[in-house]
Structure 1
């Protein structure tokens, strides 16, 4: 997620400054992984993530995972990187005594690997497994024919990759990182150093370690809630070739005209991102009517008006337009990417909106699609069925804002929306979406607990946990899942509010009041006497600092913790230990690649509070609760 390229030595220096406040990563391999661990730690630091690393003993993967008393579980990792290298797989394959055994090599190896995953997941629930898929070595035995010969190593290795992808999808807590794809970026001779393998059992060269370490750090960042959510696009020279005001619609380069195929490829990539839930917005110095007409009517235009959640085509400065788009979407500028072919505009936006990511686009449009894909800016932590509808939801939100501006009063506007709130528990259908909302929500989030789909499913089965999922709809459409409450029973009839979070898309509509009403209603029905809650500050959640007192909670403990933390572990009822690990810093995510710069964090106060169930007065809203 950073454009800056690092050498291994630079990553090693960065790793020395990491104190492990943000992530805990264990690395297990059947080859030497010491340098890989360093590259991962340094790459995380480059993204502003302080990672604590455990580099386990050489070739002790099964022993570490099988033994519940091993140092692996004592370390309590958030992520386990497992590397079973192709070179060791080749040695095992060559030791097979007959063709019959070779024909089942992939199935047996996949089953063994999946059993390791399941064992680790059962002993460390909620942790993410990052499995490094094998990179194809040179095959000097069967050559190209080996790809269609089931008893060859090439065939079995490719089959193994497919079987592991299927097993990972079934288990749910596995991210499969394809080393074959990474090796393809630099070539086998640059990725693999045979001398280092035979001398030190290292399978990835020092030159390629930054690429691999960066790919793993991107996964860790996505699981830490640092997702990019929006691409803001220039038009002339970026989305199409040519200048609309000078060349007219017919002169725009798209499709077969001029360099049009390169621009069409970029649009195709952007449309796939939109279908995956990434918001697209236009920010262009153009006449809006003319720009919209070009997008509507050009026969080779792949992106259409309905693909854009916001449209700013005017002659204001682009930084101001970007800030207005961020305000419209209710997301931080650090969740945005800005694409523009003009160096001046890129520099201006970097200066005035330092948190935004601004890739340095190549002058040649043909180089841009692959360059953006290789940057891995949009690594997801999970996918859900609501992703494809996200743009539609934000377009409906724009209609609501327009209606609010024309209403006589804000209450009149709320009453006119015909809002309906559906409340349900955890189900098989909503697990992934609930997990995704916990990963993406940073601002309206009391404790910033991140949940995996597996943890959400476990909460649904936990008799000691109360889970409430809130979905909102109104006359303009379905807003989808917008809020989550997780509470746990404590001794003495107390209900502890582990998580209360809400999408910023539905701020100021009364949803938070309905959520609190539902919490106390359930607490009353469960026979609880009080609800205990906690606010843990992060660099982004100041908007909920006074939420609990506003709803009648009495503050019991109001002390300055040692800084802010991005997220905490599910199930933790006392944040003190986790906050004490922080170092009173936030991270400057400036777009020039110099990420990880430490700046003093503002003093924030964490507090615990409680409210007796009998004292809570339900709040009135304009929402009909179903």
Structure 2
């Protein structure tokens, strides 16, 4: 697309800057008729990720999306089933959850259980198959479980036990993830909310105790932070007041928007549809002023001025995001020589080690994003780009329509509000692999530098001192394996999204699991691959073969196949390549590995005894 084709994007970003929700809606109404599907998708995502204080704004966006035929907003849309159980009326959450999920490329079939049937579903209901079962229990449920006031410690203990039984029983009757929202203070504050007396607990402490119990159950269920979501949505004003009296609804409209956003971001992270990289402009985005003009100490950053302090807070937030495993990279129109500012400015919260890659040049920002795509080894649909120049953002979208963008400024508090308020980097479950990813990205940067300095690929590989280990699925690695199964798209031969129950069934049927870890002289990349080899009538079959693109061209594929042949023993080793929008990378893998194409998706290899 030419830059002139994305004028509606420029209009929406200008409306975001001015805080004009009505203008965003008007652009959505007028633009789609003459726009390409990619541009329509970009416009809807901009509108959905815009942080508005008006819940009716999101209802208008949903209405327009519905009238447009609910177009896919990201490539390779994932299909999931979601069940919502609650002790009150929660039907209003459905359009918002559907809308926010669509912005991440997830199409959800959402079922809402009949009113106040959580206990009957958990204790007397039948087994059901959903990818996610979401349980929303209000303060009203807690009031019924803790009948005394002030709350007796005995009642609180009983409520914890009831909650534990409820969570355990429901988890046993659902094939997918069971997630509970945590508890929050309702619309009407409890009297003497912090007053304590012997044998009793103040109400604010009761909520804290029950939420701690939910966290203790996190091995059985997942917990979604509704308390924080409602805080962002206005606190007590988002909790059910008039809606509780009239409809037994635990939330007002703004609260349902907050639930939809919070749950959608958690689901996106869990199934591999969330943002994996944050690309940042520098001047007037991470600090005030232009470092090329003022020098490292002349930029506005630090506690001496309000804006300088605001930029520090923004950097601290981005540093926290980076610590959770999100790659950080720079897209800045600057001389490469200014990179020293990261170490030279004493107020800097982000240092060179935080960045997986720096793209400092005078060319188009889209060219820099293209180079980062190659360096980071994943598509721009998994990237979020923040810049204070709305024309530069539009120029990038014109080349990469599935990238998501955030308009920075003009003040740092607005940047922080837009970046954090959209809840882009939210999750209800993390693995050690997530926390180690920043170090892994640093290792990859050193590998790229060493590769560029080597005279040949063979010399480079020989210098790495590669060590690959393999083990069975166990308690240490299970969460990471399940995460890889949901997230890996490019190097994934069959893209079978096995869950915990599936792995247990396959193990009972005699399948062998291989969990592969990689390390070289630059450091560890952690768990980077997973294979399932199942028994077949005339030998063995590769049910699943997936690998992280971080270790492409490191001869890991050969090691993994060697393990598969070893556990198969003899006879035929068969496998399938099931094409998707994302896995063309491995379309020729079986042929390259010596397999014979036997028709359709099937390949086979004769292995000796």
TM-score range, shorter chain: 0.7 to 0.9
Q: Which structure 2 segments of 5+ residues have no match?
A: 1-44
Structure 2 contact 225–262 (Cα < 8 Å) conserved: no
Structure 1 contact 296–304 (Cα < 8 Å) conserved: yes
Pick closer, same or farther for the CA change 1:15–1:78 going to 2, 3 Å. farther
The answer for the alignment partner of 2:141 in structure 1 is 88
Report the 3-state secondary structure (helix = DSSP H, G, I; strand = E; otherwise coil) of the residue aligned with 1:508: coil
Distance 1:238 1:533 in 2: 49
Distance 1:245 1:448 in 2: 47
The answer for the alignment partner of 2:237 in structure 1 is 190
Instruction: Note if 1:247 corresponds to 2:294.
Output: yes
Instruction: Note if 1:322 corresponds to 2:369.
Output: yes
Structure 1 contact 487–495 (Cα < 8 Å) conserved: yes
Distance 1:306 1:459 in 2: 43
Greater RCO structure (CA 8 Å; 6+ sep)? 1
Higher alpha-carbon deviation: 356-365 or 549-558: 549-558
The answer for the alignment partner of 1:134 in structure 2 is 183
Instruction: Note if 1:530 corresponds to 2:572.
Output: yes
Q: CA deviation at 1:12?
A: 6.3
Pick closer, same or farther for the CA change 1:252–1:408 going to 2, 3 Å. closer
Distance 1:349 1:110 in 2: 51
Q: CA deviation at 1:68?
A: 5.4
Q: For residues 497-512 of structure 1, what are the structure 2 equivalents within 5 Å?
A: 497-512=542-557
Structure 1 contact 147–154 (Cα < 8 Å) conserved: no
The answer for the alignment partner of 2:18 in structure 1 is none
The answer for the alignment partner of 2:322 in structure 1 is 274
Q: For residues 65-214 of structure 1, what are the structure 2 equivalents within 5 Å?
A: 65-67=122-124, 69=126, 73=128, 76-94=129-147, 96=148, 102-125=152-175, 127-138=176-187, 142-146=191-195, 150-168=200-218, 170-171=219-220, 174-188=221-235, 190-214=237-261
Equivalent in 90, 102, 107 of residue 50 of structure 1: 107
The answer for the alignment partner of 1:568 in structure 2 is none
Pick closer, same or farther for the CA change 1:158–1:66 going to 2, 3 Å. same
Q: For residues 313-352 of structure 1, what are the structure 2 equivalents within 5 Å?
A: 313-352=360-399
The answer for the alignment partner of 1:40 in structure 2 is 97
Q: For residues 348-497 of structure 1, what are the structure 2 equivalents within 5 Å?
A: 348-380=395-427, 382-450=429-497, 454=500, 458=504, 462=508, 464-490=510-536, 492=537, 494-497=539-542
Pick closer, same or farther for the CA change 1:275–1:354 going to 2, 3 Å. same
Distance 2:398 2:196 in 1: 52
Structure 1 contact 135–178 (Cα < 8 Å) conserved: no
Report the 3-state secondary structure (helix = DSSP H, G, I; strand = E; otherwise coil) of the residue aligned with 1:536: coil
Report the 3-state secondary structure (helix = DSSP H, G, I; strand = E; otherwise coil) of the residue aligned with 1:7: helix
Report the 3-state secondary structure (helix = DSSP H, G, I; strand = E; otherwise coil) of the residue aligned with 1:25: strand
Per-residue CA deviations over 1:52-95 (Å, capped at 9, x if unaligned) read 1221111111221234536xx1xx1000011111123224434x
Q: CA deviation at 1:513?
A: 1.3
Report the 3-state secondary structure (helix = DSSP H, G, I; strand = E; otherwise coil) of the residue aligned with 1:22: strand
Instruction: Note if 1:609 corresponds to 2:600.
Output: no
Pick closer, same or farther for the CA change 1:121–1:144 going to 2, 3 Å. closer
Higher alpha-carbon deviation: 504-513 or 397-406: 397-406
Pick closer, same or farther for the CA change 1:248–1:79 going to 2, 3 Å. same
Report the 3-state secondary structure (helix = DSSP H, G, I; strand = E; otherwise coil) of the residue aligned with 2:603: strand
Q: CA deviation at 1:436?
A: 3.0
Q: CA deviation at 1:224?
A: 2.0
Instruction: Note if 1:7 corresponds to 2:61.
Output: no
Over the aligned positions, Cα root-mean-square deviation in angstroms equals: 2.8
Distance 1:208 1:232 in 2: 30
The answer for the alignment partner of 1:544 in structure 2 is 586
The number of residue pairs the alignment matches comes to 550
